[in-house]
Amino acid sequence: MLDAGVTGRQIKLRLRNGRLHEIHRGVYLVGHTVPPPLAVEQAALLACGKAAVLSHRSAAKLWDLLPYPASAPAWVTVPSERSADRPRIRIRRVALSSRDIRHRHRLPLTSPPRTILDLSLFLTEEELERVVAEAAYRKLASEAELSAQVEGNERKRGVAKLRRVLDLPGGPRRTRSPAERRMLRLLRQASIGGYETNARIHGYEVDLLWRDARLAVEVDGWDGHSARVAFERDRLKVATLAAHGVSVIPVTDRQLRNDPDGVIRRLQRALVEAAKKAA
């Protein structure tokens, strides 16, 4: 604004009368009282100067991998030689390679593989598995790309956690609810494998599927779907799958919490019976 001929006094006047709103020192929002979408992220980039990129939780938000409140501080990575300290911005100083930088909504940000590597320090293994599986499902970050990040950043904090997630039996699994994740933990503890998560069969998606055994598990569907439309939809789904020879076992969140051993026993029995039929 100074270069455009606006004086410091005029800037102060605009701030007092609400025509400008200071977000960071030297960075202003014009007219709005509430920042529009991506204004916080763009302001953080302007405040941090050239070569700054959105990273960590801000990048994950833009890639739709993790929700992040608009009121929370933006995360920005700047080159390692830069000295940057700004209130209300989470700044990291790292030398990023060109492969680690992309653009989305015209804003520079870390690539999905690099974003996941950066997040690995801050997420639990369960949360990290969910992000890794979602990124793979949406073709944002392949296992090979994530392995390359691990191999190139062995000494970075959080790398060991990401390596453990990538080495999970059957690989990271995509889940959509806490109940599904609880069921997944039980299956791993019981060393039960051979299943697909959120798999499609005969026009429907089921939470867990043993395709060869023609056995599906639906987690929490019957316990949570009390509305008439949902009830009818679930009944039609079960009837259609049954007509194609696919058995469906409903498992509620309450059963997972109160009777996990019973859930596993019933599932193991169903798998044994399915194997007998197949023989």
As a three-state string, the secondary structure of 27-42 is: EEEECCCCCCCCHHHH
Same domain for 142 and 215? no
CA dist 115 and 126 (Å) reads 17
Asked whether residue 126 falls in the same domain as residue 100, the answer is no
84-90 contacts at long range (C-beta below 8 A, 24 or more positions apart): 84/48, 84/49, 84/52, 86/24, 86/25, 86/44, 86/47, 86/48, 87/24, 88/24, 89/24, 89/44, 89/47, 89/48, 90/56
- Determine, yes or no, domain membership for 172: no
Is 15 part of a structural domain of the chain? yes
Same domain, 105 and 136: no
Q: First and final CA of the chain: distance in angstroms?
A: 79
33 has pLDDT over 80: no
| Domain identity same for 84 and 26 | yes
How far is it, in rounded angstroms, from Cα 45 to Cα 23? 12
Cα dihedral 131, 135, 141, 145 in deg (nearest 10): 40
Kindly state whether residues 101 and 193 are assigned to the same domain. no
Is 2 part of any domain? no
- In a 13 Å sphere around the CA of 271, the CA atoms on its Cβ side amount to 17
**Helix, strand, coil in percent for the chain, rounding step 5:** 45, 20, 35
Q: Is there a domain that residue 3 lies in?
A: no
pLDDT band for position 228 (50/70/90)? low
Taking phi first (over 0 means left), then psi (-120 to 50 degrees means alpha), and beta for anything else, what does residue 38 get?
left
In this predicted structure, the answer to whether residue 225 has a pLDDT above a threshold of 80 is: no
232 and 267 assigned to the same domain: yes
- Residue pLDDT, tens place only, 38-60: 999 999 999 999 899 999 999 99
pLDDT digits (tens, 9 = 90+) for 125-156: 999 999 999 999 999 999 999 999 999 898 89
Number of domains in the chain: 3
Instruction: Give the mean model confidence (pLDDT) for residues 266-270.
Output: 96
- Distance, CA of 121 to CA of 158 (rounded, Å): 4
What's the domain range around 33? 8-110
Is residue 38 domain-resident? yes
24-29 — which CB contacts under 8 Å span 24+ positions? 24/86, 24/87, 24/88, 24/89, 25/86, 28/1
pTM here is 0.83
In this structure, what token pair is assigned to residue 194?
Answer: 């051979």
DSSP conformation class of 18: T
Mean pLDDT computed over 234-250: 93
Asked, for residue 171, whether it belongs to a domain, the answer is no
Residue 100 lies in a domain: yes
Q: Which range among 33-47, 76-90, 113-127 has the greatest average pLDDT?
A: 113-127
Is residue 190 exposed (0-12), middle (13-18) or buried (19+ Cβ within 10 Å)? middle
Does 256 reside within a domain? yes
Of 92, 110, 128, the one marking the end of a domain is 110
User: Are 98 and 137 contained in the same domain?
Assistant: no
- Residue 229: pLDDT band (50, 70, 90) is low
